[in-house]
Amino acid sequence: MIQKYANPARFNRLAATLLPWFAWPAAILIFAGLYFALFNSPPDYQQGESVRIMYVHVPSAWMALFVYTCMAISCAVGLIWKHPLAHIAAQAAAPIGACFTFVCLMTGSLWGKPIWGTWWVWDARLTSVLILFFLYLGFLALQNAFDDPARGERSAAILALVGLINVPIIHYSVVWWNTLHQPASVIKMAGPAIHSSMLLPLFLMAIGFKLYFLTLLLLRMKALMMARRARGMSMAQLHHQAAE
């Protein structure tokens, strides 16, 4: 079943069908989410208007972890089953995940200054997310560090799997250790500690971000496959010329 979509033409057809179903809802949800987040949700009893940063920060943080997990699973599929699209998917996802992580770090810093009184501290949560950002960058660098793309893919896939250990550490860092960062508000046993009027924009943004990621992922996968084909064709041409 999965092997069926290893065929580039078939993948392109599937991507073309799916793209509008991801792209339009993503745009609508993010605009609606931003409207509620910025204009139509209450200020917080303690943070005042700064709470609005949360509507970008928290979905970005979820995406940073989600994209990394997807990327690592994709790398494992590429290593174990040698599925031709798996490494392309990981390569396509990495820069998107890195951007989400960057947005998460930046918005967190902007929120930290007025609320905590500092832009940055080296507590377990902040440090482990910074490591996640470096893992994304390392993955991208390693992938391009070899002349043979297949070797780069394999090395980067192993790095991605090693870095997977960081994902549960990030999630539980606020539980296992004393941190300045607060514990989870939404994903917790006792139910969310966020008032429902604030959950609406948060969920709109979270779902919008997820669809936005899928849109970018499909577009980037298509582009990477075309780049590969172009490289293959120019190589073949070179061989042909050399033979003549």
Partner 1 sequence: MTRKQRRMNFVMLGLATLGTAAALVLTALEDKIVFFYSPTDLVTKTTIPKNQQFRVGGLVKEGTWKKPENGLTHNFTVTDLRHDIAISYKGIIPDIFREGQGVVVLGKVQANGIFRADEVLAKHDEKYMPPEVAAALKKSGKWEGGKARAE
Cα 117 to Cα 209: distance, rounded to the nearest angstrom: 29
Nearest 5°: the CA angle 18, 150, 137 is 70
CB of 128 to partner 1, least distance (A): 10
Token code pair at residue 229:
């084909």
Between 83 and 228, CB nearer to partner 1? 83
- From the CB of 134, what's the least distance to partner 1, in Å? 16
Give how far Cα 226 sits from Cα of 131, 143, 180, 190, Å. Answer: 32, 18, 46, 48
Shortest distance, CB of residue 178 to partner 1, whole angstroms?
A: 4
End-to-end CA distance of the chain: 42
C-beta of 17 vs 178, nearer to partner 1? 178
Whether 132 and 101 have beta carbons less than 8 Å apart is answered as yes
Nearer to partner 1, 14 or 76 (CB): 76
Q: Is 143 within 8 Å of 159 (Cβ atoms)?
A: no
CB nearer to partner 1: give 193 or 236. Answer: 193
Residue 47 has what DSSP assignment? T
| Closer to partner 1 by Cβ: residue 112 or 222 | 112
The residue among 24 and 35 lying less far from partner 1, judged by its C-beta, is 35
Q: How far is the CB of 19 from partner 1 (least distance, A)?
A: 32
- DSSP-assigned beta bridge partners for residue 48: 44
Binding region for partner 1 (CB under 8 A): 42-47, 51, 54, 76, 79-81, 114-118, 121-124, 161-162, 164-165, 169, 176-180, 182-185, 188, 193-195, 197-198
Q: Which of 61-91 are b and which e, b meaning 16 or more Cβ less than 10 Å from the residue's Cβ?
A: bbbbbbbbebbbbbbbbbbeeebbbbbbbbb
User: Minimum Å distance from CB 161 to partner 1?
Assistant: 7
Q: How far is the CB of 195 from partner 1 (least distance, A)?
A: 4
CB closer to partner 1 out of 26 and 86: 86
Q: How far is the CB of 196 from partner 1 (least distance, A)?
A: 10
Q: Which residues pair with 44 in a beta bridge?
A: 48
Local structure of 195: helix, strand or coil: coil
CA-CA distance, 152 to 94, in Å (whole number)?
14
